[in-house]
Structure 1
Amino acid sequence: MTSHPAFVAGRGAVITGGASGIGLATAHYCADLGMPLFLADIDAAALEAASTTLRASHPGLTIETIVTDVAKRQDVQRLHDRAVKAGPIGLVMNNAGVEGGGGLAADAARWHEIIDTNLWGVINGVQIFTPTLMAQGGPAAIVNTGSKQGITMPPGDTAYNVSKAGIKAVTEALAHDLREAGSLVTAHLLIPGFTFTGFTRKRVAEKPDAAWTPAQVVDFMADRLGEGDFYILCPDNAVTPSLDHKRIAWAAGDIIHNRPALSRWHKDYQAAFDAFIKQGD
């Protein structure tokens, strides 16, 4: 398996939302490579538990934990300053996020919580870390965690969809700007499938058969990063890449064919959508 050139021993890995789920699994992956860790999370207790586990399995590795609210620019700046002090950075993973639950009519406070954390957290990370990574002169990767909901826009969780659609737009622009600048820094959009994380655990105690583990997501991510993929679209145990591609194509087709908004969930288009999904099977 080809590895991204930024994933080498001695180059730091900065991971927000690093105390659990995909962030923690990424920390374990980077630690196995000998990359110093700078784990950020808003949950101090979870950070401490993650640090204890990582230190036990990787004695002698630099592991710093920084309690961080990514919605606050000063917190992200403090995270940056701590990481830069230790040496060159190989990975910045803007992964911190909060669950949805913000319908179109949800109160403004809920909308702000979701947008401020999920979207502004990524914007803060991109704006603060990118100039430093570019100035290093060597290879580095910025991975922003998006969502399939930010592409296909299922109804009922509008604030979350908006936040993740915004991350897609920010990351696409970042990748373009880095490419145009001839930078050795690359940007990537991680789009997980159904993953058994802390969010899922709030609803079910055991991993559903359909879900991937965070470690599976990270292994897939690392493989695709090594191949240079920008869109890292993860399957899971229920949704194949082919099904993802068809759902995304149908969503884009609403514009091309002038169908009603979110026609995938429109009763008059259900039969047509089902037939489209079956094509080629």
Structure 2
Amino acid sequence: MVNSEILHAKAVAVITGAASGIGLAAAQKYAKYGMSLYLADIDGESLDKAIKQIKEIEGVGEVFALKCDVSSIKDVLELKEKVLDEFGEIHILMANAGISKPTPAFSLSTSVEELQDNWHKVLNTNFFGILNVCQTFAPIMSRQENASTIIVTGSKQGITCPPGNAGYNVSKAGVKTYTEQLAHELRNVPDGRCSAHLFVPGWVHTGLTGAKNGGPKPAGAWTPEQTVDYMVERVFEDGDFYVICPDNEATNLLDKARIQWNLDDILQNRPALSRWHPNYQARFEDFIAAKQGLSAAARSRSRGRRAPESQEGGFPSQADLSRFRAL
């Protein structure tokens, strides 16, 4: 479903996780089309700063904001009522809010209570927050007169599942599966004109990956603005469901090869996460090199690389986790 007709000055966009990063970049992008916006975020102070920035964009429509915890269905229902009171229809919904905390599969050093608390926080925001937002707005958007679209922010970690942050991976794997089901159900609504899309950023310089601490953008990362530009083209011009974003290190070709290897673990009955298994590392590197058209000599030179020491120690550092987001 091509959605180019949605990008117009009378359209309304609702964005969760809108106070920073990709959410803020999306708000700025839509504002330049002259759209009206309803921004939601749990960080009220950052949200106030964001709304001031958006209102300064020439030609933007009406702009509203609400402090909202997407893990609370009460908060999300309040957001829905306020949006409908102001605008009556929603043309773009971006379910974008997300968090990350240390969530290994088990821990030798952290109490099970603390570990499960982190797991619940991640799942409540990253998965149940998406569920709350989509299940609240989809019935309205699927039956309204004008075309609309729901864009759900996933992660490559929910597809390739790199080791070290199991809870985050589980949350984003759930988001992928849910969004696929959502897209299927929406296209089967009689006379419905609402589509759903899975937006999977690459390595992006955001608060989740170090930008909040004021560090410079790594050379391999994209900016939130680059990522949103790519998403808008793929969703609104091409109508793609799977929007897998590249970055300055991972090309589309590399992403596809990594995803294929991951799926082949099942088809070939390899060990779980064989890409990171010492017995399969050389095979994986050869596979990736071949997919990228590299010579046999180049493949052999790529062998023997070790995983980051922090990963080998059992849990990756925050820097490593930032890089895992793009895997």
TM-score by length of 2: 0.83
Match of 1:137 in 2: 145
Compute the displacement of 1:57 (Å): 2.0
Q: Are 2:207 and 1:198 equivalent residues in the alignment?
A: yes
Residue matched to 1:266: 277
Indicate whether 1:28 and 2:28 are aligned.
Answer: yes
Deviations 1:96-116 (A, max 9, x none): 000142111261110000000
| Pair 1:166-2:177 in alignment | no
> 1:217 aligned to 2:227?
yes
Q: Which runs of 5+ in 2 are unaligned?
A: 108-114, 294-327
Residue 108 in structure 1 maps to residue 110 in structure 2: no
Amino acid at match of 2:125: T
Distance 1:100 1:179 in 2: 35
Runs of 4+ with deviation above 6 angstroms:
none
**Contact 2:9–2:61 under 8 Å retained in 1:** no
Deviations 1:178-212 (A, max 9, x none): 11225210000000000011122246610000000
Distance 1:240 1:204, change over 3 A: farther
Residue type at the aligned position of 1:251 = N
Q: Is the 8 A contact 2:34 2:60 kept in 1?
A: no
**Aligned equivalent of 1:254, options 265, 283, 289:** 265
Q: Tell me the residue number matched to 1:5.
A: 5
SS of the residue corresponding to residue 57 of structure 1 reads: coil
Query: What SS class does the counterpart of residue 9 from structure 1 fall into?
Result: coil
The code of the aligned residue for 1:71 comes to: S
Contact kept, 8 Å, 1:7 with 1:91, in 2: the verdict is: no
Structure 1: give runs of 5+ residues left out of the alignment.
none
In 1, the alpha carbon distance for the partners of 2:43 and 2:134 equals 22
Once the two structures are TM-superposed, the CA of residue 243 in structure 1 deviates from its matched residue by 0.3
Aligned residues of 1:12 and 1:83 also touching (Cα < 8 A): no
What is the deviation of 1:7?
2.2
Equivalent AA in structure 2 for residue 118 of structure 1: N
Give the residue type in structure 2 aligned to 1:185: C
Q: Which has the larger radius of gyration?
A: 2
SS in 2 for 1:195: coil
Q: Please name the residue that 2:164 is paired with.
A: 156
Distance 2:133 2:205 in 1: 25
Q: Give, in whole Å, the separation in 1 of the partners of 2:260 and 2:91.
A: 34
User: Once the 2 structures are TM-superposed, how far is the Cα of residue 3 of structure 1 from its aligned partner?
Assistant: 5.7
Q: Is the 8 A contact 1:95 1:144 kept in 2?
A: yes
1:99 aligns with 2:108: no
Query: Number of paired residues?
Result: 280
Specify the alignment match of 2:44 in structure 1: 44
Q: Percent identity?
A: 44
1:46-105 Cα offsets, whole Å, 9 max, x none, are 000001111122466311110000000010111111111122211100000001421112
User: Of residues 246, 252, 269 in structure 2, which corresponds to 1:241?
Assistant: 252
Deviations 1:113-139 (A, max 9, x none): 000000001000110000110121221
Q: TM-score, normalised by structure 1?
A: 0.96
1:94–1:143 CA contact under 8 A, matched in 2: yes
Q: 1:279 aligns with which of 290, 300, 321?
A: 290
C-alpha distance in 2 between matches for 1:60 and 1:148:
32
